[in-house]
Structure 1
Amino acid sequence: MNDTLFPRERTTVAPGAVHVPDWLPAARQRELVAACRDWARGPVPLRHTVLPGGGVMSVRTVCVGWHWQPYRYSRTADDVNGARVAAFPGWLADLGREAVAAACGEGPESRAYAPDTALVNFYDAAARMGMHQDKEERSGAPVVSLSIGDTCVFRFGNTASRGRPWTDVELRCGDLFVFGGPSRFAYHGVTRVFPGTAGPASGLDAGPAGGRLNITLRETGLG
């Protein structure tokens, strides 16, 4: 199907959870890819997060503003190299407010949105993300999710358990997904990545080695 002739529609997946296809223009995608490459070089490098039980996440992650490790935030990456994480830039907070306004409309919520951390996850063809809640934050402000690179299947569930009901959403390069309000603590995950689906416009490498970048912006509420 030709997406120029048949554009994908904005969808409310659940109350407070909105998918806005093709929100990020190619130029902004390339800017974000360049920023993510800088962050991945340090002071805290891109790494596979080790879970408390010894498991290792298949995605690789780098954090900005606050460092996330299971299951808390800190200013220093005590589980990696002890370095202080890169500062959270003002332009990224501005982008977050634009995203909330695009998904939820202009209003007090979008104007007051003040993200102070970003988790950048890189997925290769084999990476997945199990169903989980984003609940280490002390703020109930929305989570903003930006997708660049390969297409994935994003599973958005309910707030009670990892089981059904859930909705599978195809997130492509440039897509925006925002969840807040009644859906803020819904379980969600990534069940599949389709390698080689991004194309060169994003600034990621073309072909199967390109992978997928997911940038999630959050308010920690930690001051």
Structure 2
Amino acid sequence: MCAHVVVAEDDEKQAELARRYLEREGHSVVVVRDGRAALDEIRRQPPELLVLDVMMPKVDGWDVCRILRRESELPVLMLTARSAEDDLLLGLDLGADDYMTKPYSPRELVARVRTLLRRVRRDEPGIDPVLRVGGLRIDPERHEVSSDARRVDCTPGEFALLHAMAAQPGRVFTREQLLGHLHGFDRYITSRTVDVHVMNLRKKIEPNPRKPRRLVTVYGVGYKLVEDGDGPGRAR
């Protein structure tokens, strides 16, 4: 799943690290150092995805995202050292598709890029949009979930969380990251909203919700979705 990616990052070391890891994945990467250069490069040769730092000279990431959303549907992964919930929601309101806070793992960056590209390309011929994790089957086009061949009814918020985690099985999601996937589905969201959705999902997809083996807790971090029994988990 190789793609042309623009990385807009004014920190030279961060930009080089992102470039190296993305090129190792097979992507072609162009690095720019400020927001104005990012807009110029995107208009000159439109990429398939933009990795966009928020705090940049000339034009900051917020304004770059705002301008791009008037011109295209280019997938945008925002990077920022600011982890406040208001900043997260602002980025999503402006049209960012995903959001990572610094410091971040380069391997996680590559995984997020891969997920965004998969989401964009899922309508291409030959690509199956259905996600399968153990006995779970998640169909985003039909908005259907089954657990061990048994249909499961999910609310839009529950489906959004399950689909996000199923796209990267085994990855640990923090509550803040999961909150981003609830934007637009729940009118009032807090970190407790995530816990409630997880509790309800466990009732629907776990053989024993009190001893979850699929949607498990990583204490002090968040949650992850795993193949049945791949990780120990206990309900919080």
TM range (shorter): under 0.3
Q: TM-score, normalised on structure 2?
A: 0.22
The structure with the largest alpha-carbon Rg is: 2
Q: TM-score, normalised on structure 1?
A: 0.23
- The structure richer in strand per residue is 1
- The structure richer in helix per residue is 2
Higher relative contact order (CA 8 A, sep 6+): 1
